[in-house]
Structure 1
Amino acid sequence: MVLAPILSLLILAITGNFDHWHNLLQYVIPTALSNTLLLLIGVAIVVGLVGTGSAWLTSAYHFPTRKVLMWALLLPLAVPTYIMAFAYLDLLHPLGPIQGVIRELLGYSSPREFRLPDIRSMVGAIFIMGLALYPYVYLSVRVMFMSQSANLVEAARTLGCTPRQAFIRLILPMARPAIAVGISLALLETLNDIGASEFLGIQTLTVSIYTAWVTRSNLSAAAQIAIFMLFIVTMIIYVERLSRQRQRYANTQRPRAIQPQILTGWKAILAIIFGWLPVIAGFVFPALYLIIETLKRIHNVGTVSSALLSSTINTVILAAIATLLTVFLGLIIAWVVRQPRFKYGKSMVRLGSLGYAIPGSVLAIGLLSPLVLIDSAISHIMEVFFSFPPQLYIMGSIAGLVIAYCIRFMAMGIGSVESGYARIPLSLDNAAQTLGYSPTQIFRKIHFPLLKPALGAAALLVFVDAMKELSATLLLRPLNFETLSTWLYAEAARGTYEEGAIAALLIVLVGLLPVIFLARTQFKNTY
């Protein structure tokens, strides 16, 4: 199921019309590719610095508000990149609140006298995506810092290293695998983005795919552009795997963890400022903006539009169906892989997890041809046996979106269920078999009750990500079908920010659920 869209994409790109290839190479690919690579490099630097710095600050130092800050640094995960861009376009507008406050403090009265650089730029895109995606690095690196042995640091100190030298020469190199994992996840999310890039006027490969397909109705050109994205994805995964090969050197035994140094005075004040800055810029400002704009809209109009309510219902139904199917398939795969007699378990898991690495726009292009063929076969069968008129049963309904969501988010379902199965020893299965239990009874009476927390976590993660997904939804949705993400995209394109603020706020509120779950699981026993 995961390989089908990739093979379809390759075939479509190779057998497509090459008459436009010269135009793509001359006008589209160079700009889109250079913008994409520049964006990826900039985001990697920002998320690496902010995520690693935040992880070290909360791991190595103790200061007021630290316990709250540890989980608050995860809050930007609830704000998708396109919502972050949507909010900051208005916040940083020359007539917006931030520039207005700055001009008032500096004594200027008009935007003509003082204005910040335009947010619609490459620097603005890097800034916004970095704020939204740094928690990927923060989470993985902080776990690595907390697992490092205090004995190693003390040994370095006895050899004459200062705390700064110990961090640069010892701790940071040992954390490189975790940094690479976090950065790779952030870069994959950057590649998947279409809303923030288009809002900010950056022509990336993802935006070019959407333009080639939707605007110019050129599917083969979109597939050929998508090949470049697949190459970049492959390189990101390769670099991440290469860095993780050295992770075993960081997993040393630790009789005791590194004890945080207590900060007081001006050092504590600086730690509080630098620690909370990413949270304020990455969550507090966008969330407050969305709340204020939503209240304005409700106060001025009094009611929420019926179209927005319809989009909300569509989003919930679509995400719920995709969640049930994804978790069910993930449970089946994890159960099959658990069986000792199954030889190809790891390969099956890797194939099932591959979909998350494929950007939504690339996945949508690859799914189009297989889904059209299946639609044609179903339509022919229904016409011959039941005399139904020809129609699109998959592409004309939400079935195509459900399939795309299942492929893209299968990794979450498999990973969560596998983590649950890891806590169920095979000895329980063997004992149940000796008592005459069948495999079905073992699953129903032993596995399922013990897997409920893992299944709940998988359902939560898949449901929230399905609600936020924009790229695949834009390209595969049926006619006259809107979700909260596509509603927000359309409102932002029209410049009606108050209308889109309600949809954005609903997405952010739902996105807070996995953040709360992560905070409870990751920092439950943190000192």
Structure 2
Amino acid sequence: MARAHPALHFAVALLLVLVALPMVATLLAAVAGDLSTLAHLWDTVLPRYLSVTAMLVATVCIGTALVGTVTAWLVSAYDFPGRRIVEVALVLPLAFPAYVLAYAYTDLLDHPGAVQTALRSATGWGPRDYWFPEIRSTGGAAFVLIVVLYPYVYLLARAAFVHQGGSTFLAARGLGLGPIAAFRQVSLPAARPAIAAGTLLVGMETLADFGTVSYFGVQTFATGIYQSWFSLADRAGAAQLALGLLAMTLLLTLLERRTRHSGRFSTERAGEPVPPPRLRGIRGGAALFVCASPVLLGAIVPGAHLAAMAGGAQQSLFSERYLGFLTNSLTLACIASALTVAAAIALGYFRRLSPTPARRRAVDLGRLGYAVPGTVIAVGLLVPFAALDNALDAVMRAQFGLSTGLLVTGTIWLLVAAYVIRFLAAAIGAFETGEIRVTPNIDAAARSLGRGPFDTLWRVHLPLMAPGLLSGALIVFVEVMKELPATLIMRPFNFDTLAVQAHRLAADERLNGAAVPSLAIAAVGVLPVVLLMARMRRGR
């Protein structure tokens, strides 16, 4: 194997320090904080944060597991009218941030919303004559997160069911088992690792969510960190809450990886594909209804309502003010996606040059940032760099009478670093997908022609991996456009994005106005979903 250049060693070491810094800084800040703060949190809000967060995660995980597994099984095991459409449409909710759906459903289902207004008009009831579910609640937040996040389970479960083949299922039917019994006793156990992995990913996303729970007034660890940092100016309390949230997400990460490794062979095809049985009449209609409902609730209904809200907002996305928000969002997304993909290339190629256990662990550490919520990354970066800015400013004032201000925390670069940490895992996955096309024989041929490692990477590897890397850059671009908690906490003064503007307008109950930037964010989010749908259409 070729030896890595010292510059690559330095770049990888710097990257790993950056990824580990938020976790280490959060731990140190939490430990250094006054224990009386932790005791006060325990006596006041911490039990509520724990119970609400646990209930929300459990509800969302159960809901997404049911929706994702049932829909994946129906489109994989049966043929019914509209199956080819809903099979790919079921991933559409991935285009929408959860907080955007929260705004749409609040305007639709709240007391002055269209649904309850129509109900009162049709029945003549007054406000106290009927009961209607409260959307601004833990249950409402769980509903929104379920209809947005179920595709994580659906995609993995569908892949597992498709690769099982039909022979095993048909053999179970031939032994006298009914379709539900055959599914429960044969197909479901084989797909269980994939379903569990998707469900644990949903759990991590639920723990990381800030926009939805904040808007609905649900008190979780994510909202508690923000309130401690900004509303109460309690840095130690924020760090201690962040440490608790980090511990929960790391636990889910370990469970997900163990599940993924235990199910490594669960996707091996168990037999040749067989034509799925055809569902007609009521059964076919019921299957279509079950599969179309998540698409309607997670994409079509909120998207249409957001468009109607934006039409009445009397705001233009092309006004000078909104063009500034759009420019800020695009600037952050472009810079972050380019740097994140470059970091993934450095880390992945470092491992490829010499795939030792230590270098494989380095790549695993790079992936770990995905499990760290944006609020934890924000606290973990602001604590050390704010201290650095303050120390440097104090020295310059004492020695030269000059104030350096916020050299690091007052710029976009620390925010970009947070994005790189958070979304590096997606870029590493894209690198590994493209790396499959570069066989060891290609490396050997390049070396025989006298090409060095960097020349081989630039002239041979990158052109072959370009499609996968571009997909990874697009995914990171869209994720940065949607990201809210780290942006809200770390953005420089007077540097707002579309996500921040949508959050601000929604917090002021100006939901029609919030629909304008929300639609722009969702429109950008459609891009990778369309690519994913195209891949699904090309083959099962």
In the superposition, the TM-score normalised over structure 1's length comes to 0.94
Deviations 1:392-451 (A, max 9, x none): 122101111000000011111111011101221011110121122222322222112111
Bigger shift: residues 368-377 or 113-122? 368-377
The Cα shift of 1:115 comes to: 4.7
Aligned AA (2:251):
M
The separation in 2 between residues aligned to 1:386 and 1:23, in whole angstroms, is: 42
Separation in 2 of the partners of 1:401 and 1:302? 27
1:242-271 superposed Cα distances (whole Å, 9 cap, x missing partner): 323431452444341253221111111111
Q: 1:140 to 1:251 in 2, by over 3 A?
A: closer
Q: Which residue of 2 aligns with 1:56?
A: 73
In the alignment, which residue of structure 2 is the partner of 1:72? 89
Q: What is the distance in 1 between the residues matched to 2:355 and 2:221?
A: 44
> Paired residue for 2:409, among 390, 395, 403?
395
1:501 corresponds to 2:515: yes
- Kept in 2: contact 1:99–1:115 (CA 8 A): no
Aligned partners of 2:392 and 2:404 also within 8 Å = no
1:364: how far off?
Answer: 0.8
**Which amino acid in 1 is paired with 2:205?**
E
Name the stretch that deviates more: 193-202 or 245-254.
Answer: 245-254
Distance 1:257 1:353 in 2: 35
In the alignment, is residue 35 of structure 1 matched against residue 52 of structure 2?
A: yes
Match of 1:489 in 2: 503
Residue of structure 2 equivalent to 1:100: 117
The CA deviation at 1:94 is: 1.9
Aligned residue number for residue 187 of structure 1: 203
Task: Find the counterpart in structure 1 of residue 535 from structure 2.
Answer: 521
Equivalent residue number for residue 208 of structure 1? 224
Structure 1 counterpart of 2:422: 408
Change (3 A) 1:268 1:396: same
Partner Cα separation in structure 2 for residue 467 and residue 386 of structure 1: 41
After superposition, residues 333-352 of structure 1 pair within 5 angstroms as 333-340=347-354, 342-352=356-366
Q: Distance in 2 between matches of 1:467 and 1:356?
A: 16
SS in structure 1 opposite 2:35? Answer: coil
Between Structure 1 and Structure 2, how many residues are aligned?
Answer: 523
CA distance in structure 1 between the aligned counterparts of 2:395 and 2:471, rounded to whole angstroms: 40
Q: Map of 1:216-365 to 2, 5 A cutoff?
A: 216-298=232-314, 305-340=319-354, 342-365=356-379
Give me the whole-angstrom Cα distance separating, in 2, the residues matched to 1:522 and 1:444.
31
**Most deviating of 81-90 and 107-116:** 107-116
Classify the secondary structure of the residue corresponding to 1:230: helix
Q: Give the alignment partner of residue 161 of structure 1, picking from 172, 177, 180.
A: 177
Q: Give the partner amino acid of 2:240.
A: Q
Q: Distance in 1 between matches of 2:387 and 2:440?
A: 43
Match of 1:91 in 2: 108
Corresponding residue of 2:7: none
2:443 aligns with 429
Task: Confirm whether residue 135 of structure 1 aligns to residue 147 of structure 2.
Answer: no
> Which residue identity lines up with residue 119 of structure 1 in the other structure?
I
Contact persistence 1:103–1:114 (CA under 8 A): no
Q: In 1, distance between residues paired with 2:260 and 2:139? A: 30
CA shift, 1:221, in A, is 0.2
Q: Distance in 2 between matches of 1:367 and 1:223?
A: 11
Return closer, same or farther for 1:521/1:372 CA change in 2, 3 Å cut-off: same
Is 1:25 equivalent to 2:42 in the alignment?
yes
Residue 500 of structure 2 aligns with an amino acid whose one-letter code is T
Letter in 2 for 1:209: I
Please say if residues 44 and 187 of structure 1, whose CA atoms lie closer than 8 Å, have aligned partners that are also in contact.
Answer: yes
- The separation in 1 between residues aligned to 2:99 and 2:415, in whole angstroms, is 20
User: How far 1:235 sits from its partner (Å)?
Assistant: 2.0
Deviation at 1:382, TM superposition (A): 8.7
Unaligned residue ranges in structure 2 (runs of 5+): 1-17
More deviation, 110-119/5-14: 110-119
Partner residue, 2:189: 173
Structure 1: distance between partners of 2:321 and 2:330: 14
Q: Cα gap change, 1:340/1:361 in structure 2, threshold over 3 Å: closer, same or farther?
A: same
Name the structure 1 match of 2:452.
438
Task: Give the drift of 1:87.
Answer: 0.9
**Paired letter, 2:530:** I
Q: 1:440 to 1:383 in 2, by over 3 A?
A: farther
Deviates more, 1:316-325 or 1:288-297: 288-297
Structure 1 residues 379 and 440, CA gap change in structure 2 (3 angstroms): farther
Helix, strand or coil at the partner of 1:351:
helix
Contact 2:78 2:277 in 1 (8 A): yes
**In structure 2, distance between residues paired with 1:302 and 1:413:** 34
1:232/1:436 CA distance change after superposition, 3 Å: same
Structure 1: unaligned runs, 5 residues or longer: none
Q: Is residue 419 of structure 1 aligned with residue 436 of structure 2? A: no
- Distance change >3 Å, CA 90–CA 6, structure 1 → 2: same
On the 8 A contact 1:108/1:114 being kept in 2, the answer is: no
User: For 1:386 and 1:204, how far apart are their aligned partners in 2?
Assistant: 46
Closer, same or farther: CA 514–158 of 1 in aligned 2, 3 Å: same
Q: Percent identity among equivalent residues? A: 37
Native 8 Å contact 1:94 1:115 kept in 2: no
2-structure distance, mates of 1:279, 1:324:
32
User: Which amino acid in structure 2 is aligned with residue 160 of structure 1?
Assistant: G
Looking at structure 2, the residues matched to 467 and 286 of structure 1 have their Cα atoms a distance apart, in angstroms, of 19
Contact 2:317 2:323 in 1 (8 A): no
Deviations 1:182-208 (A, max 9, x none): 111111111111111021121001000
Structure 1 position 18, deviation (Å): 2.3
- Within 1, Cα distance between the matches of 2:457 and 2:466? 12
Q: Which SS does the other structure have where 1:167 is aligned?
A: helix
- Whichever residue aligns with residue 97 of structure 2, its letter is P
What is the RMSD of the two structures over their aligned residues, measured on CA atoms?
2.1
**381-390 or 353-362, which moves further after superposition?**
381-390
Match of 1:471 in 2: 485
TM-score, length of structure 2 as denominator length: 0.92
Letter in 1 for 2:215: F
Contact 1:40–1:187, Cα closer than 8 Å, also in 2: yes
Counterpart CA distance in 1 for 2:484 and 2:253 is 22
1:124 to 115, 122, 140: 140
